[in-house]
Amino acid sequence: MKDQKIGTKYQVLEFLGEGSSSQVYKAVDLAGGQIVALKLFLADSININLVSQEFRLLAELRHPNLAAVYAYENFQAGCFYIMEFVPGPDILCRCRDLSFEKKCHKLIELCHALEYIHYWNIVHLDLKPSNLLLDEKDAVKLLDFGLAQSAACAPLKISGTPSYISPEVISGQSSDGRADLYSLGVLMYQIFAGVLPFEAPSLKDLVKKHLYQPPQPPLIYNASLPERLQSLILKLLNKDPNARPAGAGEVAVELARIIKQSPGESPDAPRLPFVFNSRLVGRNKEMAELRHAVQNAISGQGSTIFISGETGIGRTKLLTEFSLEAQLLECQVLWTRCYQPDTSAYDLIGQLLAQILPLAQNFCPQIISEFGPKLAEIVPAYRALPEVKNLPVPASLPAHEQRLRLLDAVAGFIIKTMEAVPPRATVIMLESIQWIDRESLEAVSHLMRNIARSSILVIGSFRNDDLAPGHHLPETIEALVAENLAEQFFLKRLSQSEVSELIRNIFPRIQNPEPLLTKIFAETEGNPLLIEEAVHYLMDSKFIERRHGQWQITSLTNDRLALPDGLTKAFKLKLKNLSPEQLLLMQSLAVMERPATAHQIFAITALDACQISKDLLYFKSQSLLTVLQEEKGDLFYGLHHSKIAREVYRSASPGLLSRLHRATAQILENQENHSLQELSALSRHWEAAGDPGKAREFHLLAGDGLAEFSKRQAIEHYRKAIELSPSQQDLPVLEKLQKLYYVSGEFQKALEAAQVLHLAKGPSPDSYYKMGRCQERLGNYESSTEYLRQGLTVSRNDPQSAARLMRAIAVTCISRGEYRTAEKNCQEALKLLPQNSKPSVEAEIYNTLGQAYWHLAEWSQALSVHRKSLAINEREGSLYGIADSHNNLGLVYYRMYDWDRAAESCQKSFAIREKIGDISGLAKSYNNLALISRHLYDWDKALEYHSKCLQTMERIGSSLETATSLVNIGLIHKAKGEWDRALWSYNRAIQLAATIGAKNIMLDAYIRKAEFYLALGGLKDCSLFCQKSLGMAEELGGRLEMGRALNISGRISQMRQQWDKAKEIFSQAREIFAELDIRAGEAFILKNLADLHRELGELDKAEAMADKALSLAQRVEEQQLVADVLLLKGELLEERGRSGLTYMEWSLEIATKVNTAETAWPIFSAIARHHVKHKRYDLALEQYQKILSGFKQALANISQPDLKSSYIFAPRRRQLFKDIKLFRQEAASYAG
């Protein structure tokens, strides 16, 4: 199987061995390069449930003398799990070359491992040399728990290796840890005597010797053995378990005493560092929610869960437990973590991408080709990948669009890669995100918005009491939860009963613990980390001891018991007991800020390497330190908690901190190919080391690297570089800073920087241009124009700069509504441009001129200049510019009612935007194409485009545009008669708009909802939303919206036969639309007034109004309105005693083309009345049947009973039913 790939990311290197049901291979983890052991269980020889139970058992064990277990996966019809690779040799081979004392040391290590597993009621049952290997650091590792079981279970058959098996296991009796002690005795006999205690030609004879024959004294084979050691070995080999030592700890103590009688160093038996490997307590509800979420992910419904709580509440314990369950469900689990506040941009995303890249290389390299060029913006090393290096660099985009493209690439790469790999689902753990950088948060938020239809579960955990004031995380979570894209759990402290359960799990079978439990709960108030510190204190102070294999409480009174009353105090007590060398080691970790290897610690501190290893193990046992990750075989150590890091950092003198920062910086600087995170770290370390020159150098490098995609952090680096500059003004850096302020939208700071540059460098066209543009963006149009005109006075010999300034003046004029002045400035700018000017400048001027013509409604001129801009962009190959020009042309054609050309231009823009990854541009194209389709009355196509726009806006988290799209989709559903869907869209739009405070969108939705109820005949609800619309329009000063709301209000008054009030309201609305030159709106009002005059019998006025309405409606190509007015004219003719059938048929022809739900039936009704009038009852019946069929379909799309009633009993439909009743009577009388 050499070189075969197994599972998601493992490649076999060599075969190591096999057992009855498994094979073990040395393998490499392709994601991180670690060498691991892969234990493969074949399908026909195993019970997967038993293997998963074995994995779960091992994964929950944490001890330096146990081989760590990392991951579990199903493979083909079998399964495998990944373990720490321990190269060996085995303990027997190693001990052959060791002194007596060192042999005892190795056995003491083994005893610690056995004491640990026996503490958790686990019996190994297969203790033998091949399961006891030594790692590279010469530490004993206990492996292979395939036969392990709970001591409470009786074995069903003889298990284990015959030479090491205990008598009680052979005889089928229930076994406990003393069975392993018998095997330990066999091993010790073999190590010290050189032979096994029992050997026989057959298994049967061997078993008899284990059961009945006492062993020979080992002194027979090794006369130099201490008598005390022989006694210990023979005691271990006693046939009666009760006659053996009570536990492995007792054996370790005896071995330590023995070697103290001989030359050599006695090892200290460390306190158990594993008291919190107990069962999870008090988190049943949260675990149930997580299980439900991962099952949803497996079924293709991705989701996000945020888990928060105070410091020490047990977030990591919960996630670790859930991680094991997820792996047993065949899920890939990816872990990332923030290590410190103010992490560098995309730090968390970099960790995630580093784990996913090898998976993509193995399973879907084409996805690297798709997204790699874009991801190279934040991970430059991607440009060297074979799948990327020959691909072109992505097209240039404006900063906002480039950021969106990057976010989309990150999400797309993660989602598509994880869809291609074998696991059923992926769980992404984001730990300690209270320190997440803004850029990573933006990227993971974008991912969270895009996983709803994927098999990905994202879990973010954070300490809410460690969030800085004004932190961006709570706001992001609130938005995601409000949009139903995430859930949030708050972990509570443990109750008194849960604390009791936890302590009893830690100290099983402890006697009379109630007073102690009450004291622990009172002092810790149920905080798990404080409980842990309290337990450590009790053990260190000997208030709780393990005697004869049992936990016991010593003499304990409240006046003697002083538990730490806070985490900071607990940590200070621990630090106080450290030696100076140990404290220096901790201080180096606090300075480095991130996990470090023992080798890196040695390089910084120059402490003894062996002592560093021992101290790291000790710190881990004291819960001061944790192993955060393992990469390529190296263990990385980090401080257990941020509070520890702060206390340790404060404990160092300024001189020591400076020295440690310098040493850290030198190590980092000597590395090649610095990442952006390392550049940022170098700037901080050199600054703290007191080297302003070096600090400034790396601040500038970090700023330059971050400027493209993290302007916020780049600004901070440039600002600090200026502060560290030897001169008072660092103008080149200030110029970079000014530009970043401007493109980041910090226009006041950009203006201030521009003014400083202006004073320092003297007046120039460029300085006046920058100050003028800043003032324009700040809304200070007078100051903007003044600055720009001053720039013109100093640009007489620089025509290109003059043209640029003239164009900027035109932009300011457009902002002020001075469109004709803007036109003149643009034309003057074009005259000033020299032949050799930058094409982009000329294209920008034409675009600005096109905007001026747009506002002036001079469409042919607008077309002309936008075509010129397009030609320049095409000549220069600017794809973004080409797409923008096509879009501008499409909008002009749209206003010219040239739908075909508008659609053609928008399609061209769309194709280019899709190619270059202009995400928000794509959404705008979808929206434009939808508007065109609406005007062509292609409702299905319009719905398709609006839905795609909605999906894109949801994907990029643009809530404002999402709400707008929902309103548009509601309008389409209403036009199609899909009433329930329309109402759902409007309600969702209102809810989202209210959440984000978008009152303008809420106002539009209120108006649409009022129109919705008006169409259904629900006057009460219509009136409610009309009043809301009028109030909000008044509040916002929206004249157009006020006109729309007044139109609805007039219709309500008309339907209630409040004629004078209706006339007054319609007149107010008409004035607004005329003032705004909204001809379609004015046409609607004229039609309503005509209808009102008809109801009053004022037929001449009605006809005059109808003629005006028809003229305006035809001019603006509002076909639905044209159909309504033609129907009205036909009805007016009928009332005058003339035939209006021709107008009605024209109306029906247009209404059929428009194809809206409520347009046709009034026409059918009018035609039916005409036929009844002329005794053509068969033709009338045909029209009435069409109407009733349409009503039946409409009612099928209304689920609410009250809306059904409103629809049926609306005044016009009620009148229709009366007409049908009279028709039936008249037709029956005529037939009779």
pLDDT category at 938 given cuts 50, 70, 90 is very high
Q: What is the pLDDT of residues 1159-1214, one digit of tens each?
A: 899 999 999 999 999 999 999 999 999 999 999 998 999 998 988 998 888 888 88
- Compute the distance between CA of residue 116 and CA of residue 114 in angstroms, rounded to an integer: 5
- Compute the distance between CA of residue 818 and CA of residue 812 in angstroms, rounded to an integer: 9
pLDDT above 50: residue 155:
no
**What is the pLDDT, as a whole number, of residue 801?**
93
Residue 996 near residue 977, CB atoms below 8 Å: no
pLDDT category at 152 given cuts 50, 70, 90 is very low
Residue 1132 near residue 1103, CB atoms below 8 Å: yes
Identify the weakest region by mean pLDDT among 184-188, 258-262, 480-484, 492-496.
258-262
**What is the pLDDT, as a whole number, of residue 132?**
95
pLDDT above 50: residue 1054:
yes
Q: Where are the alpha helices (DSSP H) in 171-226?
A: 177-193, 203-212
Annotated binding site for ATP: 39
Residue 972 near residue 944, CB atoms below 8 Å: no
Q: Across residues 209-226, what is the average pLDDT?
A: 94
pLDDT above 80: residue 1131:
yes
pLDDT above 70: residue 562:
no
- Would you say how long the chain is, in residues? 1232
pLDDT above 80: residue 121:
no
Q: What is the pLDDT of residues 328-380, one digit of tens each?
A: 888 889 999 988 776 778 889 999 999 999 899 988 999 999 999 999 988 88
Please confirm whether the linkage preceding 263 is cis (ω < 30° from 0): no
Query: What is the architecture, at CATH level 2, of domain 5-84?
Result: 2-Layer Sandwich (3.30)
Q: Across residues 195-220, what is the average pLDDT?
A: 93
| Tokens (6 digits) for 26 | 């040395």
Task: Classify the C-alpha dihedral 1026-1027-1031-1034 as positive or negative.
Answer: positive
pLDDT above 60: residue 381:
yes
Biggest distance spanned by C-alpha atoms of the chain: 136
Which residues are 142's β-sheet partners? 66, 132
| Tokens (6 digits) for 323 | 């991680």
Q: Given this structure, which CATH class describes domain 579-723?
A: mainly alpha
- Residues with Cβ within 8 Å of residue 820, at least 6 apart in sequence: 852, 856
pLDDT above 80: residue 1076:
yes
| Tokens (6 digits) for 2 | 């050499």
Across the chain, mean pLDDT equals 88
Q: What is the pLDDT of residues 968-978, one digit of tens each?
A: 999 999 999 99
One of 3.30.70.580, 3.10.20.740, 3.40.50.300, 3.90.1200.10 is the CATH number of 284-490, namely 3.40.50.300
**What is the pLDDT, as a whole number, of residue 559?**
54
Which residues are 35's β-sheet partners? 28
**Catalytic annotation on 437?**
no
Q: What is the pLDDT of residues 387-412, one digit of tens each?
A: 999 999 999 888 888 889 999 999 99
- Residues with Cβ within 8 Å of residue 557, at least 6 apart in sequence: none
Q: Across residues 53-59, what is the average pLDDT?
A: 76
Nearest to 74 by CA among 49, 105, 96: 49
pLDDT category at 307 given cuts 50, 70, 90 is very high
pLDDT above 60: residue 159:
no
**What is the pLDDT, as a whole number, of residue 273?**
43
Number of neighbouring beta carbons within 10 Å of residue 563: 20
**What is the pLDDT, as a whole number, of residue 49?**
72
pLDDT category at 1157 given cuts 50, 70, 90 is confident
**What is the pLDDT, as a whole number, of residue 275?**
44
| Tokens (6 digits) for 1208 | 């049926």
Q: What is the pLDDT of residues 607-665, one digit of tens each?
A: 988 888 878 877 877 777 777 655 455 678 888 777 788 889 999 999 999 999 999 99
- Compute the distance between CA of residue 132 and CA of residue 183 in angstroms, rounded to an integer: 12
- Where is mean pLDDT largest: 43-57, 292-306, 394-408? 292-306
Q: What is the pLDDT of residues 543-552, one digit of tens each?
A: 887 776 677 8
pLDDT above 50: residue 1007:
yes
Percent of the chain exceeding pLDDT 70 equals: 94
pLDDT category at 775 given cuts 50, 70, 90 is very high
Annotated binding site: 39
pLDDT category at 292 given cuts 50, 70, 90 is very high
SS3 assignment, position 542: coil
**What is the pLDDT, as a whole number, of residue 1?**
65
**Phi-psi label, residue 320: left if phi above 0, alpha if psi -120 to 50, beta otherwise:** alpha
Task: Select the more confidently predicted residue: 749 or 50.
Answer: 749
Q: What is the pLDDT of residues 69-120, one digit of tens each?
A: 888 888 887 888 888 899 989 999 999 989 999 999 999 999 989 988 887 7
Of the candidates 3, 44, 90, 126, the residue annotated as catalytic is: 126
Q: Please name the residue that has the structure tokens 């996000």.
A: 304
Q: According to CATH, what is the number of the domain 91-260?
A: 1.10.510.10
